[in-house]
Amino acid sequence: MRPEPSDRRAPARGLDPDRNRGWVRRVLPLLGARRRLFVAALVASGAGVLATLAIPVVLRDAIDTALPTPTNPVPGASLMPFVWAVLALGVVRAALGFVARSGLFRVAYHLEYDLRRLLYEHLTRLSFSFYDRVQSGQLISRANSDVRSVQMYLAYAPALLVTAGSFALALVLMVQVHVGLTLVAVAPLPGVYLLGTRLRQELFPLSWVVQARLAEVATVVDESVTGTRIVKAFAAERRQIALLERAARRLHWAGVRQFDARARYAPLMENLPRVGLALVLLYGGYLAIEGQVTVGDLILFSSYVVMLQAPFRSLGFLLMLSQRAAASAQRIFEVLDTEPDIVDAPGAVDLVRPRGEVELRDVWFTYPATSEPVLRGLSLHLAPGETVALVGRTGTGKSSVARLLTRFYDVDGGAVLVDGHDVREVTLASLRTAVGVVIDEPFLFSDTLFANIAYGRPDATLDDVHRAATAAGAADFIAALPEGYDTVVGERGYTLSGGQRQRVAIARTLLVDPAVLVLDDATSAVDAEREEEIHTAVQALMRGRTTLVIAHRLSTIALADRVVLLDEGRAVAEGTHHELLAREPRYGQVLAAVGADESQEPAAAGGPAR
């Protein structure tokens, strides 16, 4: 499925690369890309605050000049101008509020989009060593709930901060009326600040724990859903439910602790300003009786104190959002700050019209999570157009050769060469176009069969896809489906049998027409009859194409011009199948072990689609 044109828009700018800066400063470049809209929303919000502050001034003037008082029983001014002024200010404030909220939320959702896009693009660049150590549920949580936490803070914080800015303006107006009354009104506010500081200190670690526990729940759910066939096969539903229950209890504990902190501090923070209101009414009433302030001044003060309560009522919520956003941003930056191990070297060249010559020179390789080398000085050469089978016991490094050839990992020593070029000196895109791999565990996307086969060539025609499917032995079962190539397969292709998924995966690779073809036990899930059909088709396609077959079955080994026996990460013998069988006992032992394993495999591996 091709994305809509609007979805192809990349983030305008990236994050600030300085890891020593706070998370808000690192996000500022993304905000800078939307600065016009952001500034307009802030200006509208500030103007709305001014309109709000002006209403009590109008009310004061109306009370003092247009309403009768004991000292002025017949006021000379009309009340209507003040009424119209208040109505006009109300309309202006509503319009500005709409512009401000609309603009700020637009900016926040643009930032959410940019963060998701940056995070996903970075995940596509990260190396396999990163995915070997990080759980998929953790990444899903960071791409969803963590990004949403940052977005919520960026949506609400600017408006709340502008509202808090009204405090300074109100304070100036209040001082001009009466200094003493102003001091009485703001007397409780230092206590609010101290409580807010204490709340922030408690919320940050709790927010980090909450986000981590959310990731744990996401991991359990992801593994239970994607591995549902294994769960049901072993009747382990209760065990998975227990795992989810344990993760949910841990999340519940952290969430309750977080809201318990808010429950202890937020009511005090919200109600301390109301103490100021009571003091204003008490002291202000006395001043009004003494004639030091007017009734209008007292109404002005009361209105401003009530207005000042709004930012403080929201302060607890804002602090919770800020701490959760800070914790989430750090978790996002942990991913974005991870540098990929496998990147194009400076001056990397493209493989243009590759001939398909492959060579491994004294290759040593150890997986990052292990300490023992998998390959120990392996040397191997494949001439253009040659088909070579790698045979060996499990763990001898056969699949590692395929991963090094496509540069999923880099060698620890020695070199892997394609057409005489060290794979570390050519661009990854051209290398992986030149080398096609079909693995033993085929993965299909939840999309149509046409889209799955054309994945490597989105511009392929139906005829191109049909030819590749025919070559892979998949055309017959696809034609038998009610919707043919438009059939949507389920998640990971589980609506198809294992053999059908493998044939689709082979067709997907053949459509790209790589110069080097790697079949990593690619017919393991296909029955003998279907395997023979695939071999017949593949043999025609292998002509003029270098093919590396990681083989277990004798029928697959028979496709090769030459067989290389691996043992403990080294090539210990090579020759034809019959030559190795005659002179190399270890080769016969490997084949005997594989034959015993195959005899125990279920016959339904290549059964019909479900």
Look at residue 232 in the predicted model and tell me its pLDDT.
64
Joined together, the tokens standing for residue 488 give 């949507």
Answer yes or no: is pLDDT of 535 > 70: no
Answer yes or no: is pLDDT of 184 > 50: yes
Percent of the chain topping pLDDT 90: 7
Residue 3 pLDDT class (50, 70, 90 cuts)? very low
What's the rounded mean pLDDT across residues 68-94?
75
Look at residue 596 in the predicted model and tell me its pLDDT.
44
Residue predicted with more confidence, 585 or 494: 585
What's the rounded mean pLDDT across residues 356-381?
89
> Residue 238, by phi and psi: left (phi above 0), alpha (psi -120 to 50) or beta?
alpha
CA distance 48 to 42: 10
Q: What is the pTM of this model?
A: 0.69
Domains and CATH numbers, the chain: 15-336 (1.20.1560.10), 358-606 (3.40.50.300)
Residue 95 pLDDT class (50, 70, 90 cuts)? very high
Candidate from 145-149, 164-168, 231-235 with smallest mean pLDDT: 231-235
Look at residue 417 in the predicted model and tell me its pLDDT.
92
Q: Which DSSP state fits 330? A: H
What's the rounded mean pLDDT across residues 236-242?
78
Q: Using CB atoms within 10 Å of the CB of residue 534, give its burial: 0 to 12 exposed, 13 to 18 middle, 19+ buried.
A: buried
Percent of the chain topping pLDDT 70: 84
Joined together, the tokens standing for residue 191 give 């206590």
Answer yes or no: is pLDDT of 602 > 60: no
Mean pLDDT of the chain: 79
Answer yes or no: is pLDDT of 67 > 50: yes
Answer yes or no: is pLDDT of 600 > 50: no
Q: Give the model confidence (pLDDT) of 405-439 as tens digits.
A: 989 889 999 999 999 899 999 998 899 888 888 87
Residue 6 pLDDT class (50, 70, 90 cuts)? very low
- Looking up tokens 């192809």, which residue turns up? 8
The candidate with the shortest Cα–Cα distance to 327, out of 256, 397, 264, 254, is 254
What's the rounded mean pLDDT across residues 507-518?
86
Residue predicted with more confidence, 387 or 553: 387
Look at residue 381 in the predicted model and tell me its pLDDT.
92
Joined together, the tokens standing for residue 438 give 């079909």
